[in-house]
């Protein structure tokens, strides 16, 4: 007789010691991920830098990086590590950040597609973010140097390197040429 596998909660996942390599919790199960390469890290930093400059200049909220946890589903729990996440102060108020994972959902998530990422998995993650309440998910794809933009209430669109990426709502006024993410 087979026994059912015990699923892990987001809280249990967050209390474990750091294994030293990237992981996510998907439907209660730990999924190992290959460490990203240096190009991935550079593009993440560039995206975070460009966004953070605008956010700080206008006093809008917080920008997180380094695979900061976003709980996208409960029962069973899924915890994704967003490459870059933007939280307005309306969603994540000013003041010291508490330890651990919070219930807040970012308005914007930027993911950088790695060479090892399968589109099926990328789109699954995008769908989770949108269902959880993220307003816009941008997937930066380094090889063709494009940005795939997914909104909760709009059809997906692809922007080429010379196109301008602009955000509505809480980031009104933020504009950047897509190619800047890859320079």
Among the ranges given (32-36, 53-57, 128-132, 172-176), the one the predictor scored with the smallest mean pLDDT: 32-36
Asked whether residue 144 is domain-assigned, the answer is: yes
Asked whether residue 178 is domain-assigned, the answer is: yes
The mean pLDDT value for 52-78 works out to: 95
Query: pLDDT, tens digit, for every residue of 80-122?
Result: 999 999 999 999 999 999 888 999 999 999 999 998 899 999 9
Asked whether residue 3 is domain-assigned, the answer is: no
Instruction: Identify the sign of the CA torsion 11, 36, 163, 155.
Output: negative
Asked whether residue 61 is domain-assigned, the answer is: yes
**pLDDT surpassing 60 at residue 2:** no
Q: How many CA atoms lie within 13 A of 168 on its CB side?
A: 8
Query: Are the C-beta atoms of residues 70 and 50 closer than 8 Å to each other?
Result: no
Q: Where in the sequence is the domain holding 91, given as residue range(s)? A: 10-182
Widest distance between CA atoms in the chain? 61
Asked whether residue 99 is domain-assigned, the answer is: yes
Asked whether residue 2 is domain-assigned, the answer is: no
Q: What is the mean pLDDT of the chain?
A: 93
Banded model confidence at residue 163, pLDDT cuts 50, 70, 90: very high
Query: Are the C-beta atoms of residues 129 and 144 closer than 8 Å to each other?
Result: no
Query: Residue 151: how many CB atoms within 10 A of its CB?
Result: 16
Residues shown for the chain: 183
Asked whether residue 84 is domain-assigned, the answer is: yes
pTM score, whole prediction: 0.93
Query: pLDDT, tens digit, for every residue of 140-152?
Result: 999 999 999 999 8
Residue with tokens 């330890």: 99
**CA pair distance 68, 79, nearest whole angstrom:** 9
For residue 157, what is the domain's CATH number?
3.90.1570.10
- Dig out the tokens for 36 from the structure: 């990203």
Banded model confidence at residue 125, pLDDT cuts 50, 70, 90: very high
Structure confidence at residue 102 (pLDDT):
92
Asked whether residue 177 is domain-assigned, the answer is: yes
- Counting the structural domains of the chain, the total is 1
């Amino acid at each position: 007789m087979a026994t059912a596998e015990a699923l892990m909660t987001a809280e249990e996942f967050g209390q474990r010691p750091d294994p030293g390599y990237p992981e996510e919790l998907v439907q209660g199960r730990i999924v190992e991920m290959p460490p990203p390469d240096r190009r991935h890290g550079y593009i993440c930093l560039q995206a975070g830098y460009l966004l953070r400059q605008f956010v700080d200049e206008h006093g809008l909220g917080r920008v997180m990086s380094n695979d900061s946890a976003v709980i996208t589903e409960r029962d069973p729990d899924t915890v994704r590590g967003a490459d870059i996440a933007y939280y307005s102060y309306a969603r994540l108020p000013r003041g010291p950040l508490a330890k651990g994972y919070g219930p807040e959902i970012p308005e914007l998530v930027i993911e950088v597609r790695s060479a090892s990422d399968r589109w099926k998995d990328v789109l699954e993650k995008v769908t989770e973010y949108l269902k959880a309440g993220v307003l816009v998910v941008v997937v930066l794809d380094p090889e063709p140097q494009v940005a795939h933009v997914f909104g909760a209430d709009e059809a997906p669109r692809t922007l080429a390197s010379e196109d301008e990426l602009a955000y509505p709502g809480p980031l009104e006024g933020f504009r950047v040429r897509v190619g800047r993410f890859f320079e």
